[in-house]
Structure 1
């Protein structure tokens, strides 16, 4: 049977072979210190060599010529402009007096698109830009820019495009619009609209070309469509100007006065030029009082 031998301090720590005194503390300290010093020196040398190689690599890296950098930056700028036009913002100009006094001829406006993403659509009171539904614009207004440079710029949103109209949304699907109450106000679902953005001095807020005393009423706005009017009611080729009045034209067809909401490009939110016309456009509060269609 083996006997247990007690472990002494000499058994736990052996003296360093080169230490004549046999002091384990002295051996451990001098050995560790020497090894640590050697390791530090080696790391510093390695770091220096690595830094030197990195500097030499940077010196060897060839810089692009100025003309290549210019082309690259231009391509990136054009790509960003195209993305912005397609998904976020687009510039247009006002070609006629149909939105006076709020929007003057040749005003530059900005249209934003995210508000109508997904299931969101135009709201009553919004000023919107939409594509010509067909026959609303004359040949000249529908053509757009003819200058080649302007055509390219219009593709990326840096120049206004043709073939579009700007109007105010008065009614949406299910709404019935009529003209006018005793104060000459347009009614939507029986609710009169107070429209301070119209020109002063009007006898009524309906299209004066049809006579302020003449009464008219639309059928319910079909699904996915809207009824739009210009703020200059007397000089606007809009929905009210296309209402079918059998008493005047027995051959007219109901429905041509409405605009498909899929044709909407976006909502006008700012006038950016000229500087004297700078302004933000907001939805008038009067439309908040319009009841839902029956």
Structure 2
């Protein structure tokens, strides 16, 4: 038996099907069935909607990043072991205000222009805009003017290193810095400074790999960072997922007294 012939015969369209196909293939049919021919249909509309949704989502994320919470990619090991290279931290931009300034022990992100850098490095405006948008979403390393460090002293504090026990002292009180990178000294460079009012003395947790306030003692501002240059407080580690947690707080400064002198209790 010729099974192939029977199969072919069974698959042939009936007369009514032939008439239906002929009607559909008449004038105007191509306009109806051609992909993308009808307004609001086809591939054009197919890519417009996802593109619009993508633009709206990016705009919302940029708005949140600008006003509320900003992702910040950790570019170096200066804050190890607290923060690692490649961590994405979420910076709370509403953490501080006139009645709630940064406190000793806080991990902050700040603009170092005028303190750590005299002026921003030159860059192509278009490239800078694109990089800024990517950095604001945590997809690129931060601008070269942005830094992340720990607040060690606030306005009026006298910060000294090191005492007879090799410890940092703030207002005469020794500080046991349990967050330091294992094996690091509080500082290999001795210093004794009084933090100007409205400013912060900041240092990295990995003192052996951190360029911080100590490295700018001889520059205008003496290494202190103006409080109004603080972008926000690093509060959460959002990426990688295995590192998801809040940024650890510290009670290392709990025994530090208020600074003495005019304007300080």
**What TM-score do you get using the length of structure 2 for normalisation?**
0.70
Hey, what's the Cα distance between the residues in 2 that align with 1:106 and 1:218?
A: 33
Q: Which has the larger radius of gyration?
A: 1
Partner of 2:75: 95
Hey, what's the Cα distance between the residues in 1 that align with 2:225 and 2:250?
A: 21
Give the superposition deviation at 1:157. 5.7
Partner of 1:48: none
Distance 1:280 1:138, change over 3 A: farther
Is 1:123 the counterpart of 2:103 in the alignment? yes
Distance 1:224 1:95, change over 3 A: same
Partner of 2:84: 104
SS at match of 2:91: strand
Partner of 2:250: 284
Is 1:274 the counterpart of 2:240 in the alignment? yes
Gaps of 5+ in 2: 1-38, 261-265
RMSD: 3.2
Question: Alignment partner for residue 209 of structure 2, among 231, 235, 252?
Answer: 235
Number of equivalences: 217
Partner of 1:218: 193
Hey, what's the Cα distance between the residues in 1 that align with 2:58 and 2:138?
A: 10
SS at match of 1:218: strand
Partner of 2:64: 84
Higher helix residue share: 1
Distance 1:133 1:278, change over 3 A: same
Distance 1:106 1:261, change over 3 A: same
Distance 1:81 1:118, change over 3 A: farther
Hey, what's the Cα distance between the residues in 2 that align with 1:274 and 1:180?
A: 36
Distance 1:146 1:254, change over 3 A: closer
Assess if the C-alpha contact under 8 Å between 2:88 and 2:138 holds in 1: no
Gaps of 5+ in 1: 1-61, 244-251
